[in-house]
Structure 1
Amino acid sequence: MTGRSIRGAVVVTLATALSLSAAACSKPSGPDGGGSGSGAGDSAVVGIAYEPDSLSPLLGYGKDGNSKIFDGLLTLDAEMKLHPALATALPEVSADGLTYTYRLRKGVKFSDGKPFGAKDVVFTYRTILDPRTNNASRTELDALKSVEASGEDTVVFHLKYPYAPFAQRTVLPIAPEHVAAGQDVNTGAFTTHPVGTGPYLLTKWSKGEKLSFRANPDYWGGAPKVKKFTMVIIKDDDVRATRLRSGELDGAILPPNLAKGFAKDSGTKTYAATTYDYRNVTLPTHNKVTGDTAIRRALDVAVDRQAMVHSILNGEGRPAYGPVPTDSEWFTKGTERAHDPAAAKKILDDAGWKPGKDGIRVKDGVRAAFPLWYLTGDKLRQDHALAYASDAKKVGIDITTESGTWEVIEPRMKQDAVLAGGGSPADPDFDQYSLLKSSLAGDGFNNMARYENRTIDQALEEGRRKGDKAARKAAYDTVQRELVKDPGYTFLTHIDHLYVVKDRFGALTTQVEPHDHGLATGPWWNVEDWTPKK
């Protein structure tokens, strides 16, 4: 199994986006399928774009929290602040920052009735750290040296070095040792038939079509009022909007141009979630064209990011100059790049890329042309790809846009550019390390451009190893400034996620969201707390 970063698609949070069969466009049926989204008041049916490869937290599912089937030691509230979940309190941290101690909640049971305890926490983290486990996010736990149980209700983590955001890593869902330990971690039944402590139980997973859940009546946090919850997987944005309008769905994630069509609909509400979710173009270093730094630098200033925000996102987003949004405290002021085609042309001229008879530049017999792939059915990626290609053409670079499933795209990533995405609000280490670290080049959807920059490698290590916030900020400033000089990707926009939901429930909220959206995010991030209107 190829390791896939949560950065790539739902993969990219979940785990990764899959190609969907024709069944994804068929109408769900059956009692769990939610053929109608306006049925019983205690049920909800929502449309999402992607599904995970696996429902096992040991393989990366739910690693950022809100998995619905599982709980972590900690959880995040609407303001993205940490709160106890399976732990009774936030961790006790030693003075040197190397030991984290968690006291566990007593009386919690897994959905099969077996008790939860410290051994399950130890099993979960040790299994993820095992090299035989196909978890592409293992590097996120690089700081963890060991984990041990101290009695039945205490767990102690020992770190190799002080890692400031370690507590945020412990929102990771806990798997039951008595179930998962007795089977192959990568292929066993637990990957599709999970057993957890969460507010919902999976009743059915029809691959490429839907995931059906029912409320856990014995949930330690109280039984959810929404008793049945169905996530219908609809890859195509237009189809998702059509099925929401027809009444088949109670809610759906939609791109801005489709969400605005519901603005005057008195029966729905639109919820906007600010995000760290960016769209970028990978520029593979193994391609004769995109491997040239001059080409990458030229494209970085040739692109009109503000026009993309205006025309593609209808203003629901911001220009992106790197993985960190411009309104984040971690953003490095002065790294913004203006749309400047003249500067792009000069960069190419100075590097020996001269216009040919057809206007496309050539250097040493190599034509400045390459393909750019985007995920089939993803209108936002398609529109970004077309706009990017148009801007590139104006400076003499010929980009041919192509669509395909991830199964088609992945084998081509070493040579071909991809309209990709990523972003995590939890901590700058969470996204940047897997995106830029040279040792992860070619590791599934990690470092898709196979980018190598020693200065950035060093800064990434400093950023995750230093405990002082000012020192960490300096490290990530170095990363962002270096990306201006040596871009391995062209960052385009940071996208606000829009969700349209039938007005059948009380006031809903959203969190600041990562790239991954669907199962764990949107207004249904806390569906267990929804109160249906009477």
Structure 2
Amino acid sequence: MTARTVRGVAGATLAAALITGVAACSTPSGGTAAGTAGGDSAVVGIATEPESLSPLLGYGKDGNSKIFDGLLTHDADMKLQPALARALPEVSADGRTYTYALRQGVKFSDGEPFSAEDVVFTYRTILDPKTNNASKTELDAIESVEARGEDTVVFTLKYPYAPFAERTVLPIAPEHVAGRQDVNSGEFTTRPVGTGPYLLTGWSKGEKLSFKANPGYWGGEPAVKKFTMAVIKDDDVRVTRLRSGELDAAILPPNLAKGFEKDKARLGAPPSGSWGMYAAKTFDYRNVTLPTQHKVTGDVAVRQALDIAVDRGAMVDKLLEGAGKPAYGPVPTGSPWFTAGTERAYDLDKARRILDDAGWKTGEDGIRVKDGVRASFPLWYTSGDKIRQDHALAFASDAKKAGIEVRTEAGTWEVIEPRMKTEAVLAGGGSPADPDFDQYQLLTSSLAGDGFNNMAWYDNATVDRALGDARRSGDPAARKAAYDTVQRELVKDPGYVFLTHIDHLYVVNDKWDGLTTQVEPHDHGLGSGPWWNVESWKPKQK
């Protein structure tokens, strides 16, 4: 596929944005079954929704929005392309100045013109301490952002932050609207105005987000005129509604997606076409947080033992049906950023020896004890998420063979979040854009306990230094060496047990041309999957 001129890229929102979906029996459109809609409409089933639709609060920070555009965007191969900027930025020799020439004639959906002042407003507002944006540390490198006339923006950095251009896929908000409201609670957070290919027409929280094509979009009005994202948290319910024809597409866990493909002939195709399955390679991992604040998971020997007591290969084969690979850290094997030699083989005997040597002795019930502390801890996973449930149960089974009791519990994020400091969570993450995008928030001790950042309260001085060195260097070799240090340190001192990297699978009613997938991050739903470029779809000719 050629590079697109309309926008929408990988990533949905922070994991914190997960809230319970309403698995309503009515159709998402409130009328006839969604899957029977005409060729200019599409309804897709997603598992998550954002808490806000304001980019000032973090929405679309990875470039995933259909409502907004960033200065840059990604094409199908995840290469940066101009969006609101006319071209890729000019970068100074010292790597500290980025100059963007802006596209002319672009208007917001309310008809007001887009200008450099909107860019300045967006970045300055996000960096304002009064703005409740949990991701503002991602823009830590910015020293200043200035407008030069209406069509040029200049960023000056504190240090030569190598992946800065990747950060500028962040959506741009209109100053004339958002600047006149409370940034944290104003109407703009749920009724946004942007420059993107779609306009929000309605948001029923926990049920659906509805969009219509923007007739004044600078990249051309999309052929899909109505686009609905049905929020369906439960995997099984998404399958049911897909099969009934209420949905045109949905993301599904591997076992359900492949099962759907196998029995599609028996079940019959939707009225307007046949079903197709799309697979996306990802950086999306599942891991178990091992909080340092807990008497059991805070013990380095326990963490080391669990790290090699898990059978990652079996998880890929049995839980994912081969749609993924073993994970040994945040970087998947096969990535140029992966550190060779940090793979951990399944070795139950060695895990037992580590625990024996550390003084964890097996009790009468088979569970180990040390200094009166029983080797037992809870592991939470989100309700309705079959992938997390399956991983949690498999992890608990493997841990028990080493003499550690893991008690699995299901709940919503509202239930889980207050417990994260001391109780383990089956979590996820991963970003293909740059190692800094995921690893800094995952591992740096300065962000321990900061919402969903560093959920394990991991504290390793060597890792902290390497992460800082990597984000402040413009030298690719130096950055690779720093991230090698991080990955090797995670072998010696794991704050998490990484289990698998997961391929994302989607089942789609095959009635459009232009469908493809990108390499995807952990967060998926709103802007990922085959509908990452829904604005480029065309109805198939009959």
- The TM-score, its normalising length taken from structure 1, stands at 0.96
In structure 2, stretches of 5+ residues that fail to align are 1-9
Consecutive unaligned residues in structure 1, runs of 5 or more: 1-6
Q: Where does residue 219 of structure 1 map in the other structure?
A: 217
User: Is 1:395 aligned to 2:394, yes or no?
Assistant: no
In structure 2, the partner of 1:251 is 249
Structure 2 match to 1:183? 181
State the partner residue of 1:480.
487
Tell me whether 1:513 sits opposite 2:514 in the alignment. Answer: no
Question: Which residue does 1:449 correspond to in 2?
Answer: 456
Residue aligning to 1:11: 14
Partner of 1:4: none
What do residues 113-138 of structure 1 show as CA deviations (whole Å, max 9, x unaligned)?
00000000000000010111111111
**Does the 8 A contact of 2:290 with 2:298 survive in 1?**
yes
- Cα distance in 2 between the residues matched to 1:394 and 1:333: 28
Deviations 1:452-508 (A, max 9, x none): 000000000011011110100000000000000000000000000000000111141
For the pair 1:501 / 2:499, whether they are aligned, the reply is no
1:36 and 1:524 map into 2 onto residues whose CA distance is: 16
Cα deviation code 1:289-324 (max 9, x no counterpart): 000000000000000000000000000000000000
Q: CA deviation at 1:39?
A: 1.1
Q: Which amino acid aligns with 1:19?
A: T
**Counterparts of 1:162 and 1:495 in 2: how far apart (Å)?**
33
Give the secondary structure class of the aligned counterpart of 2:112.
Answer: coil
Q: Offset at 1:30?
A: 4.5
How far apart in 1 are the matches of 2:354 and 2:363? 16
Shift of 1:10: 4.1
What is the alpha-carbon distance in structure 1 between the residues aligned to residue 14 and residue 159 of structure 2? 28
Amino acid at match of 1:24: A
Report the AA paired with residue 454 of structure 1.
A
* Mapped contact 2:444–2:463 kept (Cα < 8 A): yes
Task: State the distance in 2 between where 1:216 and 1:48 align.
Answer: 22
Give the secondary-structure state (helix, strand or coil) at the position aligned to 2:538. Answer: coil
Cross-structure match for 1:27: 26
Residue 17 of structure 1 aligns with an amino acid whose one-letter code is: L
Match of 1:110 in 2: 108
Q: CA deviation at 1:521?
A: 0.4
Equivalent residues in 2 for 1:369-380 (5 A)? 369-380=376-387
Question: 1:279, 1:119 → 2: CA distance?
Answer: 40
In 1, Cα distance between equivalents of 2:100 and 2:305: 50
Residue by residue over 1:212-247, the C-alpha shift from the partner in whole angstroms, topping out at 9 and shown as x without a partner, is: 000000100000000000000000000001110110
1:382-421 superposed matches below 5 A: 382-421=389-428
TM-score, scaled to structure 2? 0.95
Aligned counterpart, 1:3? none
Q: CA 1:334 to 1:130, structure 2 compared with 1: closer, same or farther past 3 Å?
A: same
Please give the alpha-carbon distance, in whole angstroms, between the structure 1 residues aligned to 2:371 and 2:490.
Answer: 26
**Which aligned pairs between 1:93-104 and structure 2 lie closer than 5 A?**
93-104=91-102
The CA distance in 1 between the partners of 2:76 and 2:23, in whole Å, is 31
Matched, 1:329 2:331: no
SS of 1:388's equivalent in the other structure is: helix
> Is 1:86 equivalent to 2:87 in the alignment?
no
| AA matched with 1:16 | A
Contact 1:8 1:446 in 2 (8 A): no
Q: Deviations over 1:264-296 (max 9, x none)?
A: 436111000000000000000000000000000
**1:315 and 2:322 correspond:** yes
Q: 2:354 matched to which residue of 1?
A: 347
Deviations 1:147-193 (A, max 9, x none): 00000000000000001100000000000000001111111111100
Which letter maps to 1:25?
A
- 1:66 is displaced (CA, Å) by 2.7
Return the offset for 1:19.
2.4
Number of matched pairs: 523
Q: Structure 1 pair 341/34, CA: closer, same or farther in 2 (3 Å)?
A: farther
The CA deviation at 1:533 is 1.6
Residues 8-65 of structure 1 show CA distances to partners (whole Å, capped at 9, x for unaligned) of 99422xx621123xx333323546x774222111000000000001110001111111
SS at match of 2:95: coil
The answer to whether the 8 Å contact 2:23/2:237 transfers is: no
Task: Give the whole-Å Cα distance in 2 for the aligned partners of 1:154 and 1:11.
Answer: 30
User: Residues 245 and 30 of structure 1: is their aligned pair in 2 closer, same or farther, counting only changes over 3 Å?
Assistant: closer
Q: Is the 1:262–1:268 Cα contact (8 Å) retained in structure 2?
A: no
The change in CA–CA distance for 1:344 and 1:30 in structure 2 (over 3 A counts) is closer
CA distance in 2, matches of 1:64, 1:26: 33
Structure 1 residues 344-401: Cα deviation after superposition (integer angstroms, max 9, x where no partner): 0000000000000001000000000000000000000000000000000001000000
- Distance in 2 separating the partners of 1:280 and 1:167: 29
- Secondary structure of the residue that 2:410 maps to in structure 1? strand
Paired with 2:44 and 2:56, the residues of 1 have a C-alpha distance of 26
Residues 523 and 9 from structure 1, CA distance in 2 versus in 1: closer, same or farther, beyond 3 angstroms? closer
After TM superposition, the structure 1 = structure 2 runs for residues 348-367 of structure 1, keeping only pairs within 5 Å, are 348-367=355-374
Supply the distance in 2 between the matched residues of 1:64 and 1:504 (Cα, whole angstroms). Answer: 28
Partner Cα separation in structure 2 for residue 156 and residue 335 of structure 1: 40
**Letter matched to residue 18 of structure 2:** A
Q: Take 1:247 and 1:132, find their aligned partners in 2: how far apart are those partners?
A: 46
Do the aligned partners of 2:13 and 2:60 also contact (CA within 8 Å) in 1?
no
Q: Which amino acid aligns with 1:495?
A: I
Rounded Cα–Cα distance in structure 2 between residues aligned with 1:401 and 1:353: 22
- Code of the residue aligned with 2:14 in structure 1: it is V
8 Å Cα contact 2:301-2:354 kept in structure 1 = yes
Counterparts of 2:20 and 2:309, CA distance in 1: 32
Mapped to 2, the partners of 1:26 and 1:354 lie a distance apart of 52
| Counterparts in 2 of 1:473 and 1:68: CA distance versus 1, 3 Å | same
User: Which amino acid counterpart does residue 160 of structure 2 have in structure 1?
Assistant: P
Kept after mapping to 2: 8 A contact 1:8/1:445? no
Name the SS for the 2:534 alignment partner. helix
State how far apart, in whole Å, the 1-side matches of 2:76 and 2:451 are.
32
Distance 1:280 1:65 in 2: 25
Say which SS state the counterpart of residue 87 (structure 1) adopts: coil
Contact 2:430 2:438 in 1 (8 A): yes
Q: Tell me the C-alpha RMSD between the 2 structures.
A: 1.3
Partner secondary structure for residue 81 of structure 2: strand
1:395–1:255: structure 2 CA closer, same or farther, 3 Å change rule?
same
What is the identity percentage for the equivalent residue pairs of Structure 1 and Structure 2? 76
Query: Structure 1 pair 8/70, CA: closer, same or farther in 2 (3 Å)?
Result: closer
Conservation of the 8 A alpha-carbon contact between 2:12 and 2:524: no
Distance of 1:273 and 1:72 partners within structure 2: 23
Q: In the superposition, relative to structure 1, how do residues 135 and 303 fare at CA in structure 2: closer, same or farther (>3 Å)?
A: same
C-alpha distance in structure 2 between counterparts of 1:30 and 1:87, whole Å:
36
